[in-house]
């Protein structure tokens, strides 16, 4: 079991840096896990909604290839992003029996922390990037959306152990973790941050405050956050440009019909709702999205109405267009049961809760469950943290039974 755990840790370490490494690592992890799995209890575990619903969504995507009118290569290509959800039952089962789940999250945190100085280095010397010549500011690998997702998750997750350490009087350890969290925030404020992160970070911090702090403390922290946020915005031209881009993109889209980021999303969402209305029950089938957008495109491709895409940049609409209301019900049920799994105390429950919450809210603006990086963040986060929570509950039940006996 140790080898299986170490492979999972390696995948978590690789996640901020490599795409192919994660794919290869999870394949190795799967075969290593299958070699030692006890099939009878594993098959019983599949009956739990937290396992059955991800399988149901992938099964619907597979069956959806049958009524799609897209070419078969487009159908299989659209099916592929959903298949990562099949790893969830295996991860939940394994880390319900392993005692090393926290190693995975520590590995991910350390890896992200190492990415922070590298990001600053690329900001100061852009030639150090591994990206192309048009790479985003301060990005060594991948892109600013993925990096922002990682930094936001690490920042909010660290809030729980910081408060716990402060309450226990362990000031030095709390200050160390505070410094790590601050490094993520400073990077997002002064190097680069996605607009999705600007929306999700306050929501996740608000959930933490309501769950773990008193109302007077919340008011003081809210005032401090407003002051620090205003100060950061004043001192950071990058942050000003990111926030100003919201209104500028919308204005350019409305006045000149230009394909800005916000404008294209509004265009994609409006058309996706029409596509959903045409096939509201089971959708148009797996891989049908691009052909639908091609048929609905009007005018030259340089204008927003002429844009064609295979991803409407919204997880709900992505599912609704392809698999209708049936798919949306399964998607929301999966999110609900995964969210419910983490209603409890402890660091593992907090990590899992934040992983689900981040995915739900960021999926308003992107199809993050099916995107490679954010999708694997969800699968690893829910799978490992969920297994740890299930293990803790099982041990608590056994202790309670022993005490009564």
pTM: 0.92
Please count the structural domains in the chain.
Answer: 2
Q: What is the pLDDT of residue 398?
A: 74
Residue pair 204/152 in contact (Cβ under 8 Å)? The answer is yes
Q: What is the pLDDT of residue 351?
A: 96
Q: What is the pLDDT of residue 371?
A: 92
Q: What is the pLDDT of residue 95?
A: 96
Q: Is residue 211 part of a domain?
A: no
**Series of mean pLDDT values for 10-residue runs along the chain (405 residues):** 90 95 95 93 95 97 94 93 96 95 96 95 88 74 90 94 90 94 92 88 86 72 74 75 76 77 85 93 93 81 72 92 97 97 92 95 90 95 96 82 59
- What residue numbers bound the domain in which 20 lies? 1-36
Q: What is the pLDDT of residue 249?
A: 80
Indicate if 32 and 51 belong to the same structural domain.
no
Q: What is the pLDDT of residue 402?
A: 61
Q: How far apart are CA 282 and CA 364, in angstroms?
A: 21
Q: Which residues contact 172 (CB under 8 A, 6 or more apart)?
A: none
Q: How far apart are CA 103 and CA 105, in angstroms?
A: 6
Indicate if 367 and 395 belong to the same structural domain.
yes
Q: What is the pLDDT of residue 302?
A: 65
Q: What is the pLDDT of residue 255?
A: 74
Indicate if 6 and 67 belong to the same structural domain.
no
Phi and psi at 309, nearest 5°, equal -150, 160
Indicate if 3 and 81 belong to the same structural domain.
no
* Tally of CB atoms within 10 A around 185: 16
Q: Is residue 162 part of a domain?
A: no
Q: Is residue 24 part of a domain?
A: yes
């Amino acid at each position: 079991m140790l080898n299986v755990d170490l492979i999972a840790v390696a995948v978590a370490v690789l996640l901020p840096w490599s795409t192919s490494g994660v794919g290869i690592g999870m394949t190795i992890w799967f075969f290593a896990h299958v070699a030692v799995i006890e099939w009878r209890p594993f098959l019983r575990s599949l009956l739990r909604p937290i396992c059955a619903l991800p399988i149901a969504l992938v099964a619907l995507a597979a069956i959806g290839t049958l009524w799609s009118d897209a070419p078969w290569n487009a159908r299989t290509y659209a099916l592929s992003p959903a298949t990562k959800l099949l790893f969830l039952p295996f991860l939940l089962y394994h880390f319900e029996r392993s005692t090393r789940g926290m190693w995975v999250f520590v590995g991910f945190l350390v890896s992200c922390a190492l990415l922070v100085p590298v990001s600053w280095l690329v900001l100061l010397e852009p030639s150090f990037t591994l990206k192309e010549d048009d790479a985003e500011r301060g990005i060594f690998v991948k892109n600013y959306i993925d990096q922002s997702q990682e930094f936001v998750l690490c920042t909010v997750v660290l809030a729980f152990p910081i408060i716990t350490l402060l309450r226990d009087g362990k000031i030095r350890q709390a200050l160390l973790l505070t410094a790590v969290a601050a490094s993520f925030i400073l990077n997002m404020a002064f190097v680069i941050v996605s607009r999705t992160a600007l929306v999700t970070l306050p929501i996740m911090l608000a959930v933490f405050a309501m769950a773990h702090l008193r109302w007077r403390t919340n008011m003081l922290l809210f005032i401090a956050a407003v002051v620090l946020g205003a100060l950061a915005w004043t001192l950071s031209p990058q942050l000003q440009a990111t926030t100003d881009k919201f209104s500028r993109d919308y204005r350019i889209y409305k006045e000149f019909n230009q394909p800005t980021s916000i404008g294209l999303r509004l265009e994609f969402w409006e058309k996706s709702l029409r596509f959903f209305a045409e096939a509201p029950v089971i959708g148009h089938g797996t891989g049908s999205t691009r052909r639908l957008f091609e048929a609905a495109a009007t005018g030259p491709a340089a204008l927003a109405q002429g844009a064609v895409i295979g991803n409407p940049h919204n997880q709900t609409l992505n599912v609704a267009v392809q698999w209708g209301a049936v798919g949306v019900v399964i998607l929301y049920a999966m999110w609900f049961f995964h969210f419910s799994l983490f209603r409890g105390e402890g660091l593992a429950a907090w990590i899992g809760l934040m992983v689900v919450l981040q995915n739900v809210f960021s999926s308003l603006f992107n199809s993050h469950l099916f995107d490679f990086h954010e999708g694997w963040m969800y699968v690893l986060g829910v799978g490992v943290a969920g297994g740890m929570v299930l293990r803790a509950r099982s041990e608590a039940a056994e202790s309670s039974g022993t005490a009564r006996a």
